[in-house]
């Protein structure tokens, strides 16, 4: 079977520039790479065909020979610049390595030298802070102790004794990565000598061991704004872990957890307070005093005949909104309490009251009337 024209294989014209040829090969390599075409039996042969074409056209001497003699330039001993008989492309992996970074840079950490990182940014830190509901209401400034890494004072964060400058890694020549040939493919790995930094320290700092930072607990004053709730996150820029070898510092994130309260229950900016009242107070009505989250008191009028579960609203007595957009309400929920440990006299009075209460319990009367109707209908 006659070989296809190399320019046609790469999808470029005969007057294509070196950049256009490389671009055409990159496109074909992506399209027909065997790892991306497991279900296409023709992909491997087309991939090799593209490699062969690019190996010739990327070389100025081979390209000139091919433009003049075509495929015959590489037959009968005309090697076109060193390729063996019948193998104009020589080692296909050399062609593929030219665009290796373009094809797989995203997976390998970027293009050539993409792994080089002379000064790595420090990690972000998380600190869980529990506050009371009262503190969440008023806001506060709190001092916390944060265990973190700080820049080494002995070497000023450079990692080298006396603050000397690191030197270029001889293994990777400062690229941060090394390449190894494995059969058909060129594999790129992080440099084992410098761990991808591209630099090495000949005389590491004795205090930090060459990393440029040390462990230390720090005291930080944190402003907690009024209105925070569980899950609120506060970011302190530059208060995280120190960078590696003088790199930028990470951030510190404070996550708020508001403790449960013995009296109030919170829902957003609203507060709920369950207040027990005596049976007589609920029946006769009256005034009661209830606490508010700011430490004050509010008088609430109970209407006569109030039942358990009845709610009354105290406007603007709830929690402040986190960013100053108003304030929630407080809801009082009545819980009518049945008296216990009655004396004989109290029992007599209650029984007398019950005998006189024929029309004082409309809800009970309505319920039992419905029950009687239900039973009568079942009998019939």
Binding residue numbers for Zn(2+): 152, 155, 169, 172, 191, 194, 205, 208
Q: Please enumerate, by residue number, every residue annotated as part of a binding site.
A: 152, 155, 169, 172, 191, 194, 205, 208
CA distance 101 to 273: 64
Half-sphere exposure of 7 (CA within 13 A, CB side): 13
CA distance 317 to 214: 49
Q: Are 69 and 75 in contact (CB under 8 A)?
A: no
Q: Are 160 and 204 in contact (CB under 8 A)?
A: yes
Q: Which two tokens stand for residue 60?
A: 């100025």
CA distance 308 to 302: 12
CA distance 361 to 111: 83
- Alpha helices in the chain, H assignment, sequence order: 6-10, 18-32, 43-57, 60-69, 92-98, 100-108, 133-138, 279-284, 344-355, 362-379
Maximal CA-CA distance, the chain: 128
Q: Which two tokens stand for residue 262?
A: 């013995």
Name residue 258's beta-bridge partners. Answer: 131
Q: What is the signed CA dihedral for 28, 29, 31, 34, rounded to 10 degrees?
A: 140
Burial class (CB in 10 A: 0-12, 13-18, 19+), 324: exposed
**DSSP code for 71:** G
């Amino acid at each position: 079977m006659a070989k296809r024209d190399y320019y046609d294989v790469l999808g470029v014209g005969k007057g294509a520039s070196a950049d256009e040829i490389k671009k055409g090969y990159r496109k074909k390599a992506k399209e027909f790479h065997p790892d991306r075409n497991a279900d296409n039996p023709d992909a491997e042969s087309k991939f090799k065909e593209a490699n062969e074409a690019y190996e010739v056209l990327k070389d100025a001497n081979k390209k000139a020979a091919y433009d003049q003699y075509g495929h015959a330039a590489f037959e009968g001993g005309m090697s076109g610049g060193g390729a063996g008989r019948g193998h104009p492309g020589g080692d296909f992996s050399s062609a593929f390595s030219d665009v290796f970074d373009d094809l797989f840079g995203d997976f390998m950490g970027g293009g050539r030298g993409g792994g080089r990182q002379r000064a790595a940014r420090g990690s972000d830190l998380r600190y869980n802070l529990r506050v009371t509901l009262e503190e969440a209401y008023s806001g506060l400034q709190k001092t916390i102790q944060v265990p973190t890494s700080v820049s080494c004072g002995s070497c000023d964060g450079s990692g080298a004794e006396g603050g000397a400058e690191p030197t270029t890694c001889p293994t990777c020549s400062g690229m941060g990565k090394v390449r190894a040939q494995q059969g058909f493919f060129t594999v790129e790995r992080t440099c084992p000598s410098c761990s991808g930094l591209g630099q090495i320290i000949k005389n590491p700092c004795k205090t930090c061991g060459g990393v440029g930072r040390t462990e230390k607990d720090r005291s930080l004053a944190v402003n907690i704004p009024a209105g925070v709730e569980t899950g609120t996150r506060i970011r302190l820029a530059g208060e995280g872990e120190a960078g590696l070898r003088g790199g930028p510092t990470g951030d510190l994130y404070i996550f708020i957890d508001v403790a449960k309260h013995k009296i109030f229950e919170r829902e957003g900016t609203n507060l709920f307070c369950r207040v027990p009242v005596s049976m007589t107070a609920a029946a006769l009505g009256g005034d009661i005093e209830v606490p508010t989250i700011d430490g004050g008191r509010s008088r609430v009028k109970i209407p006569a005949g109030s039942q358990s579960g009845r709610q009354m609203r105290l406007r603007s007595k709830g929690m402040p909104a986190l960013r100053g957009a108003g304030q929630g309400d407080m809801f009082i929920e009545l819980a009518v309490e049945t008296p216990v440990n009655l004396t004989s006299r109290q029992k007599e009075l209650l029984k007398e009251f019950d005998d006189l209460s024929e029309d004082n319990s409309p809800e009970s009367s309505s319920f039992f009337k419905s029950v009687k109707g239900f039973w009568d209908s079942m009998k019939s």
